[in-house]
A and B are shown apart, each in its own frame.
Chain A
Amino acid sequence: MSVPKAPRIWQLAERRYRLIGTQCLKCGRVFIGPRKICPQCGGRELRDIELPKRGKIYSYTVVRNPPVEREKQGPYIVAIVELENGCKLTAEIVDCSPEEIDIGTVVEAVFRKIGEEDKTGVIYYGCKFRPVK
């Protein structure tokens, strides 16, 4: 069964922990993925940028048919979150039930476990978001 292995986890770990994206210096657009070329304007000058840890829910759903690595963990909420600077990313929404959120709910990042290779393997971490009250 294929799950990320240690080097592939390590390559992006710090970006995931600290919510570091890339910004195009030509058109200003910000992306969650590490980019060398801007997909909006084709610009070649991009820099790493620490993203705001707050945003709002752009759309969301409750996953009830999980992939094998998330089986037996119960349904979970996954969403596209639009951060305060306009950058959008995909993340779980936690510490709430689906009834407590909607499109537009303000959320903030928390540090959580995303998964692990298996009980003997590397654990991988990243950000999830919880509604701000």
Chain B
Amino acid sequence: MNFGERIPAIYGWGSYIPIYRIKLDDIAKAWGEDPVVVKKGLEVEEISVKGPDEDQVTIAINAAWNALKRAPEVNPKDIGAIYVGSESKPYAVKPTATIVAAAIGAPVTIRAADYEFACKAGTEALISVIAQVASGMIKYGLAIGADTSQSWPGDVLEYTASAGGSAFIIGPKSNSSVAYFEAQYSVATDTPDFWRRDEIKYPRHMGRFTGEPAYFKHITLAAKELMEREGFKPSDFDYFIPHQPNGTFPIRVALKLGFKIEQVKPGLLSPLVGNFYSGSSLTGLSRVLDIAKPGQRILLVSYGSGAGADAFSIVTQEAIEEKKKLAPTVDYYVNRKKYIDYATYLRFSNKIYGL
């Protein structure tokens, strides 16, 4: 893809996952379901739960602070745009992006807005920031994907919908950037696989319809579009990071596209922390950046119900090694945990007050 002189690149990356976890065993027990069957179908062991004093805003900001730690050369006053993607903003009207702006010391002259496209709202935010950097409209931009994912009590989504998010500081490629974008392609169609009506607290979905006609179709379309247009084969990539609604879909779509399990595993977090919705594939990317070597190529393909997919080809650079230790890694957050039971989970998720 021809970005011209200003090739968009990542300067800082950061994530945040709340400390609380609930085991799928305990959710299944609460609903009288067989944990063995549930876990086998989803390949997820436990999921993250937001604390009572956390929400999508606090997750977004903690992730942004971590991204800033990894980009010490970026002055927050030089950030020209902040976009946040989510489907669980605490305000239906009032953007998280401006609260983020206030919390990082961004200037008053800034573009800011929130994005929605189910689980690919975060990558949509990233696309806008990339475009504004490439076009010269901004010096640096901040893109965030974060969610405190919702699910109907007792629905199968309850086993995977979890809380977390990641943030990325983007600027023009240089010796200080850690990874640059080679290409970006997206697909979108009107597909009713998963949705949430206005004023309804929890999303609904069409069960098995969310598979082939939705997740698999769109990820495949976007991935193939990028690879064909840019002349890549699966073996040209070191990592493949698809959206992670559970522990099985990402592996299936990877294998279908011709990738190997070793390319998917490094970015696969859902078995241990669940599905962060807009934060999901972006946190997979964050984890891969935590461990990648310079000169490696990443294919990131997010998926959003409704439906669409965003594909990115990213190449890591030398500067990445020095930056890794400047902020807590995804593994740090994955491994720090406190287990809670289902009753506490209901209280923390604000589900106990009903519909």
Contact = CB atoms under 8 A, between A and B. Distances in A.
Interface of A: 13-14, 17-18, 50, 73-74, 92, 94-95, 110-114, 123, 125, 128, 133
Contacts, number: 48
Nearest to B105: A18
B90 to A, nearest CB: 6
B61 A17 contact: yes
A14 B102 contact: yes
Interface of B: 19, 51-55, 57-58, 61-62, 65, 90-91, 99, 102-105, 336, 338
Given A110-B62, A112-B58, A128 B53 contact: yes
15 contacts: A14-B103, A17-B99, A18-B103, A73-B52, A92-B53, A95-B19, A111-B58, A111-B62, A111-B65, A111-B103, A113-B53, A113-B57, A123-B90, A125-B99, A125-B103
A133 B57 CA distance: 24
B57 A125 contact: yes
Contact of B103 (A17, A73, A123, A128): A17
Nearest to A10: B102
A94 B102 contact: no
A111 B58 CA distance: 6
Contacts of A18: 102-105
Which 6 residue pairs of A and B lie closest in terms of their CB atoms, listed nearest first?
A17-B103, A111-B61, A112-B53, A113-B53, A14-B102, A95-B19
A125 B102 CA distance: 11
Contacts of B58: 110-113, 125
B53 A114 contact: yes
A123 B57 contact: yes
Nearest to B18: A95
Contacts of B53: 92, 94, 112-114, 128
A9 to B, nearest CB: 12
Contacts of B105: 18, 50
B165 to A, nearest CB: 12
B93 to A, nearest CB: 12
A61 to B, nearest CB: 18
Contacts of B103: 14, 17-18, 111, 125
Given A17-B61, A95-B19, A113 B102 contact: no
